[in-house]
Amino acid sequence: MHEMALAESILEVVEQAARAQQCTRVTAIRLEIGTLAGIEVSALRFGLEVVLAHSLAREARLDIDTLEGEGWCMRCSQNVPLKALYDPCPSCGGYQIQPLRGTEMRVKEILAL
């Protein structure tokens, strides 16, 4: 979904953080993307290539950490791994699962000169 808009938001966050530190070049960007966040990582990489091309981060290495999904199964009263929002509980096969982790999308850190 909307990976190009997200790429622009990422650039903005990165530019502001770099300028606040009087940095003129960004050499690496680290993102944290949950598997349930609805982001196609390859599309985001493509969007960032385009958006970063003429910015102070044009040579930046892009590191993307993936956060696996996890949910709370109401029937089992325990945390279970969750690959998609519609996945059944691996223990009981039920669908009463509340996602706990994996919906994040964050800019974690940058390396800047």
Partner 1 sequence: MCQVCGCETTTSVLVDGVPLNPGGPASPYRPVQGQSLLHFGMGPAHAHAPGLSQEKMIRIERDILDKNNTYARSNREWLAQRQIFCVNLMSSPGSGKTTLLVNTLQRIQSRVPVAVVEGDQQTSQDAERIRATGVPAVQINTGKGCHLDAHMVGQSLQQLQLQPASLLFIENVGNLVCPAGFDLGEARKVVILSVTEGEDKPLKYPDMFHAADLMLLNKVDLLPYVSFDVARCMEMARRVNPALPILPVSATRGDGLQDWIDWLLAGVQGLRQGAPVESSGVPAA
Site of interaction with partner 1 (CB under 8 A) = 1-10, 12-14, 16-18, 20-21, 23, 27, 31, 34, 36-40, 43, 46-47, 74, 84-86, 88, 95-97, 99, 103-113
Q: How far is the CB of 6 from partner 1 (least distance, A)?
A: 5
105: which strand partners? Answer: 33
Minimum CB distance to partner 1, residue 86 (Å): 5
**Helix residue ranges per DSSP H, the chain:** 3-20, 41-52
Which two three-digit tokens encode residue 103?
Answer: 């919906």
- The answer for residues whose C-beta is within 8 angstroms of residue 37's C-beta and 6 or more apart is 102, 103, 104, 105
Least distance from partner 1 to the Cβ atom of residue 100, Å = 11
For partner 1, give the closer residue by CB, 58 or 108: 108
